Amino acid sequence: MSIAQLDATEPVPKTIAYLVNQYPKVSHSFIRREIVALESRGIKIVRFSIRSCADELVDADDLEELNKTQVVLDRRWASLLAGVGRVALQRPLAFWVALGLAFRLGFKEEVGAFYHLAYLAEACVLLLWFEAASIDHVHAHFGTNSTTVAMLCRALGGPPYSFTAHGPEEFDKVRAISLVEKIQRAEFVVAVSSFGKSQLYRWAALEDWPKIHVVRCGLDQAYLAQEFVPIPEQPHFVCVGRLSGQKGHLLLLEAVSQLVNEGYRFTVTLVGDGEMRSQIEQLITTYDLQACISITGWASSEAVRAELLRAQALVLPSFAEGLPVVIMEALALGRPVITSTIAGIPELVETGVNGWLVVPGSVESLVAAMRSALATPATALETMGQAGLKKVAQQHNVEREASHLARLFAASGGSQRLSQPRPRLWATLALPRRQVSVKST
């Protein structure tokens, strides 16, 4: 069934659980926007995270989200084991089925059986929390361990689940994360680009194709409706992303070094942090680029916006991506983008229209694109930026994308929350002890 065929008048399940491995997180503002847009449509969203990354948070909106999010691994192991014991005693058959599934997945997947026993424990805790919150449907972001936990929770008799696959990790480790089985057991699956949909089609059985849909990450009016800020005359690039191997920072440093040696004078700001920071800093020194390259570390949404506005263009020479939200943000702010022709990026960026697409891994292609941007007058860059804003508004309006997602939730049959009749559970694990009303099938 396509989104266009869904009945928009069908009632949406009462309460949706959002489950993410780490939420809120610096790079997950798109999830926050999606949740807010769904809540504005009258849908109740309850936030759950497997683990916390509170130490990285710098954005006020993320800190506010943290207060709204229940984190499984914030509890002591004794509390987790108590949850496992309760579920095992009250649902012995479902527990053994889920335990068998955990072992089977563990022997197939790269992380092994031990991790899957941990995932099962997390699923037991979430089952109790979901029941206490009267959750009708679970939606996980990323098809990795958060979706594994949602699938195990479903096997225990919990709510039906869906998930959003972003890439590239899901598509790099299809067998290692049991992606095909996750698709089979899900109510529906979301891809964030047509490329992502094609990769899910590549692995899913033909009969599961109708449950795969494209719902793009979106921007809100804070980006789409703000007053245009002219592009500065000073040549300056910004690169926003985790300092990791897949983002192509080392290639960028080589390209900057070549351009500087050719006599070009410009600056670059790297916004982000990560495991490769020390290596990047060492190479900046080796290439003698201290005068033109700076690193900000983690930055709030407002700081990222300010850095994008200060630049003439965003440069992101990634080796692996889904469809980076920062590209949408840059285009929405009227800034052209230099980026790799991989994954879903060509669905948004067009060479000569709103930016430059470069051959992934090619320093020559990257140098040529940056050279072209440096030679382009600010007025022409603004024209490209305006074209980018128009395309983002057409394809990545969070309100429109949330309406698509709401229709999928409505059609998911979430009102049949429990897969089997069973005794009522008591809300436990740091929740007030009270009797919970349970729907049975």
Residue 437 lies in a domain: no
Residue 424 lies in a domain: no
Residue 107 lies in a domain: yes
Q: How far apart are CA 100 and CA 369, in angstroms?
A: 53
Q: Nearest 5°: phi and psi at 384? A: -65, -40
Residue 186 lies in a domain: yes
**What is the model's pLDDT at position 110?**
67
Ordered per-residue pLDDT tens for the chain, 441 residues: 444 444 445 455 579 999 999 999 878 899 999 999 999 999 999 999 999 988 878 788 888 999 999 999 987 788 889 999 999 999 999 999 999 999 999 887 666 788 899 999 999 999 999 999 999 999 999 999 999 999 999 999 999 999 999 999 999 999 999 999 999 999 999 999 999 999 999 999 999 999 999 999 999 998 999 899 999 999 999 999 999 999 999 999 999 999 999 999 999 999 999 999 999 999 999 999 999 999 999 888 889 999 999 999 999 999 999 999 999 999 999 999 999 999 999 999 999 999 999 999 999 999 999 999 999 999 999 999 999 999 999 999 999 999 999 999 999 864 444 443 333 333 333 333 333 333 333
- Whether residues 181 and 230 share a domain: the answer is no
Q: How far apart are CA 76 and CA 429, in angstroms?
A: 10
> Of 159, 167, 178, 119, which Cα lies nearest the Cα of 142?
167
Q: Where are the alpha helices (DSSP H) in 133-269?
A: 145-155, 169-172, 179-185, 194-203, 221-224, 249-261
Token pair 């009945």 is at which residue?
A: 7
Q: How far apart are CA 255 and CA 261, in angstroms?
A: 10
- Whether residues 332 and 404 share a domain: the answer is no
- Whether residues 313 and 179 share a domain: the answer is no
Residue 171 lies in a domain: yes
- Whether residues 207 and 231 share a domain: the answer is no
- Whether residues 182 and 324 share a domain: the answer is no
- Whether residues 148 and 196 share a domain: the answer is yes
Q: How far apart are CA 394 and CA 390, in angstroms?
A: 6
Residue 144 lies in a domain: yes
- Whether residues 92 and 120 share a domain: the answer is yes
327: domain CATH number is 3.40.50.2000
**What is the model's pLDDT at position 11?**
56
- Whether residues 106 and 246 share a domain: the answer is no
String of b and e for 219-242 (b: at least 16 CB within 10 Å)?
A: bbeebbeeeebebeeebbbbbbbb
Residue 148 lies in a domain: yes
- Whether residues 64 and 48 share a domain: the answer is yes
**What is the model's pLDDT at position 13?**
57
Residue 435 lies in a domain: no
- Whether residues 247 and 191 share a domain: the answer is no
**What is the model's pLDDT at position 348?**
98
Structurally, how many domains does the chain consist of? 2
- Whether residues 260 and 303 share a domain: the answer is yes
SS3 285: helix
- 24 prior amide bond cis, ω within 30: yes
Domain range for 298: 222-395
- Whether residues 18 and 161 share a domain: the answer is yes
